[in-house]
Amino acid sequence: MGSAWELEAAPGGSLLLCAALLAAGCALGLRLGRGRGAADRAALAWLCYDALVHFVLEGPFVYLSLVGSVANSDGLIASLYISCRSPCACANCMATG
């Protein structure tokens, strides 16, 4: 499995972050769901994971969108967003060439 399976820094970081959020969400959901049935614990683990994703990944994106521009930021969330766009298709880049 040569270079076709290698990930760049941004996608690799994204996968690691999502895996860490999944582990944290499952651990939190299972801990909070002690004494409940298996279906309830699984639903609670999913809800904890989903809440972590909203706060950690989507929250900074919304914040950067409101106070500035994601394209002009150097943060991790902005690098994940910008790495999937090539070439740039924003109005500013299209106007300036």
21-80 pLDDT, tens digit each: 999 999 999 899 898 999 999 999 999 999 999 998 888 778 777 777 666 666 665 665
Cβ atoms of 48 and 40 within 8 Å: the answer is no
Tell me the chain's radius of gyration from C-alpha atoms.
Answer: 18
The more confident residue out of 6 and 96 is: 6
Give me the residue spans of the domains in the chain: 18-94
Tokens of 67: 């106070």
Cβ atoms of 92 and 72 within 8 Å: the answer is no
CA angle at residue 80 from 93 to 3, to 5 degrees?
A: 105
Cα separation, 10 vs 80, whole angstroms? 6
pTM of the model: 0.61
The conformation of residue 93, written as its DSSP 8-state character, comes to H
